[in-house]
Amino acid sequence: MRFINTPELVTQRLILRKFTADDLDAFFCIYADKEVNTYLPWFPAKNLEDAKILLEKHYLNTYRKPQGYRYAVCLKQDNIPVGYVNADMDDSHDFGYGLCKEFWHRGIVTEAGQAVIAQLKRDNIPYITATHDIHNVRSGNVMKRLGMSYQYSYEEQWQPKNLPVTFRMYQLNLNGEKQSVYKKYWDMATVHFIETFP
Protein backbone atom coordinates (compact mmCIF):
# COMPACT_ATOMS: atom_id res chain seq x y z
CA MET A 1 0.00 0.00 0.00
CA ARG A 2 1.25 3.49 -0.84
CA PHE A 3 0.83 5.85 2.10
CA ILE A 4 0.21 9.57 1.86
CA ASN A 5 1.60 11.46 4.83
CA THR A 6 -1.26 13.17 6.71
CA PRO A 7 -3.95 12.86 4.02
CA GLU A 8 -6.50 15.68 4.26
CA LEU A 9 -9.76 14.73 6.00
CA VAL A 10 -13.08 16.57 6.12
CA THR A 11 -15.82 16.13 8.70
CA GLN A 12 -19.14 17.86 9.29
CA ARG A 13 -17.51 20.91 10.88
CA LEU A 14 -13.79 20.49 10.32
CA ILE A 15 -10.93 20.35 7.87
CA LEU A 16 -7.99 18.23 9.06
CA ARG A 17 -4.85 19.05 7.11
CA LYS A 18 -1.12 19.56 7.39
CA PHE A 19 0.22 22.59 9.21
CA THR A 20 2.15 24.95 6.95
CA ALA A 21 4.66 27.71 7.69
CA ASP A 22 1.81 30.19 7.09
CA ASP A 23 0.02 28.80 10.17
CA LEU A 24 2.70 30.07 12.56
CA ASP A 25 0.50 32.67 14.32
CA ALA A 26 -2.31 30.16 14.92
CA PHE A 27 0.20 27.50 15.93
CA PHE A 28 1.69 29.90 18.47
CA CYS A 29 -1.74 30.55 19.98
CA ILE A 30 -2.23 26.79 20.52
CA TYR A 31 1.24 26.08 21.91
CA ALA A 32 1.66 29.24 24.00
CA ASP A 33 -1.41 28.83 26.20
CA LYS A 34 -0.29 27.62 29.65
CA GLU A 35 -3.63 26.02 30.48
CA VAL A 36 -3.83 24.11 27.19
CA ASN A 37 -0.27 22.82 27.67
CA THR A 38 -0.38 22.06 31.41
CA TYR A 39 -0.46 18.29 30.92
CA LEU A 40 1.61 18.10 27.73
CA PRO A 41 5.27 17.01 27.51
CA TRP A 42 6.79 20.37 26.65
CA PHE A 43 6.91 23.88 27.99
CA PRO A 44 4.57 26.46 26.40
CA ALA A 45 6.08 28.46 23.55
CA LYS A 46 7.28 31.83 24.84
CA ASN A 47 7.40 33.62 21.49
CA LEU A 48 7.03 33.11 17.76
CA GLU A 49 10.60 31.86 17.46
CA ASP A 50 9.87 29.09 19.99
CA ALA A 51 6.71 28.21 18.06
CA LYS A 52 8.60 28.15 14.76
CA ILE A 53 11.09 25.63 16.17
CA LEU A 54 8.26 23.41 17.46
CA LEU A 55 6.37 23.65 14.16
CA GLU A 56 9.44 22.63 12.18
CA LYS A 57 10.50 19.85 14.55
CA HIS A 58 7.16 18.20 15.26
CA TYR A 59 5.23 18.86 12.06
CA LEU A 60 7.04 20.09 8.96
CA ASN A 61 9.86 17.54 9.39
CA THR A 62 7.32 14.74 9.85
CA TYR A 63 5.63 15.63 6.59
CA ARG A 64 8.86 14.79 4.75
CA LYS A 65 8.60 11.16 5.85
CA PRO A 66 6.72 8.51 3.85
CA GLN A 67 3.95 8.08 6.42
CA GLY A 68 2.63 10.19 9.25
CA TYR A 69 -0.50 11.54 10.90
CA ARG A 70 0.01 15.03 12.32
CA TYR A 71 -3.06 17.14 11.74
CA ALA A 72 -3.99 20.77 12.08
CA VAL A 73 -7.63 20.86 13.21
CA CYS A 74 -9.40 23.73 11.42
CA LEU A 75 -12.98 24.95 11.39
CA LYS A 76 -14.47 24.84 7.91
CA GLN A 77 -15.49 28.48 7.91
CA ASP A 78 -11.94 29.86 7.91
CA ASN A 79 -9.52 26.88 7.67
CA ILE A 80 -7.43 28.37 10.53
CA PRO A 81 -5.93 25.83 12.99
CA VAL A 82 -7.52 25.78 16.44
CA GLY A 83 -5.89 22.53 17.57
CA TYR A 84 -4.17 19.35 16.50
CA VAL A 85 -4.55 15.57 16.46
CA ASN A 86 -1.51 13.33 16.02
CA ALA A 87 -0.70 9.63 15.89
CA ASP A 88 2.93 8.61 16.24
CA MET A 89 4.50 6.04 13.95
CA ASP A 90 6.68 4.35 16.56
CA ASP A 91 5.55 1.11 18.22
CA SER A 92 3.29 2.96 20.67
CA HIS A 93 1.17 4.60 17.94
CA ASP A 94 0.60 7.24 20.61
CA PHE A 95 -2.51 9.31 19.93
CA GLY A 96 -2.39 12.93 21.09
CA TYR A 97 -4.47 16.08 20.80
CA GLY A 98 -4.72 19.68 21.91
CA LEU A 99 -7.23 22.47 21.40
CA CYS A 100 -7.41 26.21 22.06
CA LYS A 101 -9.48 26.57 25.21
CA GLU A 102 -12.01 28.92 23.62
CA PHE A 103 -13.14 25.89 21.58
CA TRP A 104 -13.36 23.43 24.48
CA HIS A 105 -16.63 21.61 25.26
CA ARG A 106 -17.85 21.56 21.65
CA GLY A 107 -16.87 18.00 20.75
CA ILE A 108 -14.24 19.21 18.30
CA VAL A 109 -11.43 16.90 19.41
CA THR A 110 -13.81 13.93 19.46
CA GLU A 111 -15.00 14.72 15.92
CA ALA A 112 -11.44 15.17 14.67
CA GLY A 113 -10.19 12.11 16.54
CA GLN A 114 -12.88 9.87 15.06
CA ALA A 115 -11.90 10.94 11.54
CA VAL A 116 -8.20 10.32 12.15
CA ILE A 117 -8.88 6.93 13.73
CA ALA A 118 -10.96 5.94 10.69
CA GLN A 119 -8.01 6.87 8.46
CA LEU A 120 -5.59 4.88 10.63
CA LYS A 121 -7.85 1.85 10.33
CA ARG A 122 -8.01 2.25 6.55
CA ASP A 123 -4.21 2.33 6.52
CA ASN A 124 -3.97 -0.86 8.61
CA ILE A 125 -2.45 0.72 11.71
CA PRO A 126 -3.04 -2.11 14.22
CA TYR A 127 -3.79 -0.07 17.35
CA ILE A 128 -3.40 3.28 19.07
CA THR A 129 -2.46 4.08 22.65
CA ALA A 130 -2.90 7.28 24.64
CA THR A 131 -1.89 8.33 28.12
CA HIS A 132 -3.12 11.04 30.44
CA ASP A 133 -2.06 12.44 33.79
CA ILE A 134 -4.54 11.17 36.39
CA HIS A 135 -5.38 14.80 37.19
CA ASN A 136 -6.34 15.50 33.57
CA VAL A 137 -9.74 13.85 33.69
CA ARG A 138 -11.05 15.70 30.59
CA SER A 139 -8.40 14.07 28.42
CA GLY A 140 -9.40 10.64 29.72
CA ASN A 141 -13.02 11.39 28.84
CA VAL A 142 -11.99 12.14 25.25
CA MET A 143 -10.19 8.79 25.08
CA LYS A 144 -13.34 7.02 26.25
CA ARG A 145 -15.50 8.86 23.71
CA LEU A 146 -13.11 7.72 20.99
CA GLY A 147 -13.69 4.12 22.00
CA MET A 148 -10.42 3.61 23.85
CA SER A 149 -10.28 1.36 26.92
CA TYR A 150 -8.28 1.80 30.12
CA GLN A 151 -5.49 -0.78 30.46
CA TYR A 152 -3.21 0.20 33.35
CA SER A 153 -1.53 3.03 35.27
CA TYR A 154 2.14 3.74 35.86
CA GLU A 155 4.43 6.30 37.47
CA GLU A 156 7.10 8.25 35.60
CA GLN A 157 9.50 11.12 36.28
CA TRP A 158 8.22 13.18 33.38
CA GLN A 159 10.68 15.01 31.17
CA PRO A 160 11.49 17.74 30.30
CA LYS A 161 9.31 19.11 33.13
CA ASN A 162 10.98 16.74 35.62
CA LEU A 163 7.77 16.05 37.54
CA PRO A 164 6.56 12.80 39.09
CA VAL A 165 3.37 11.88 37.22
CA THR A 166 0.96 8.96 37.39
CA PHE A 167 -0.37 8.18 33.93
CA ARG A 168 -3.35 6.13 32.83
CA MET A 169 -2.81 4.22 29.58
CA TYR A 170 -5.69 3.67 27.17
CA GLN A 171 -5.71 1.59 24.01
CA LEU A 172 -7.92 1.00 20.99
CA ASN A 173 -7.18 -2.02 18.83
CA LEU A 174 -8.06 -1.41 15.19
CA ASN A 175 -7.16 -4.90 13.95
CA GLY A 176 -9.70 -6.95 15.88
CA GLU A 177 -7.13 -8.28 18.42
CA LYS A 178 -9.24 -7.41 21.44
CA GLN A 179 -6.97 -8.92 24.10
CA SER A 180 -3.69 -7.40 22.87
CA VAL A 181 -2.22 -4.80 25.26
CA TYR A 182 0.78 -2.54 24.64
CA LYS A 183 2.98 -3.27 27.68
CA LYS A 184 6.05 -1.09 27.10
CA TYR A 185 5.11 1.58 29.66
CA TRP A 186 4.17 -1.13 32.18
CA ASP A 187 7.50 -2.90 31.68
CA MET A 188 9.56 0.30 31.91
CA ALA A 189 7.89 1.64 35.05
CA THR A 190 9.07 0.60 38.50
CA VAL A 191 5.59 1.37 39.84
CA HIS A 192 2.64 0.12 37.80
CA PHE A 193 -0.84 -1.06 38.72
CA ILE A 194 -4.38 -1.54 37.47
CA GLU A 195 -6.98 0.76 38.94
CA THR A 196 -10.59 -0.19 39.58
CA PHE A 197 -13.26 2.39 38.87
CA PRO A 198 -16.79 2.54 40.31
Domains parsed from the chain with CATH numbers: 9-193 (3.40.630.30)
Average pLDDT over residues 161-168: 90
Is the pLDDT at 100 greater than 80? The verdict is yes
Average pLDDT, the chain: 94
Confidence (pLDDT) at 20: 98
Confidence (pLDDT) at 2: 59
Query: Using alpha carbons only, what angle is made at residue 132 by residues 130 and 122, rounded to the nearest 5 degrees?
Result: 20
Alpha-helix residue ranges (DSSP H) falling in the chain: 24-32, 48-55, 108-122, 137-145, 184-188
Q: How far is residue 71's CA from residue 15's CA, in Å, rounded to a whole number?
A: 9
Confidence (pLDDT) at 40: 74
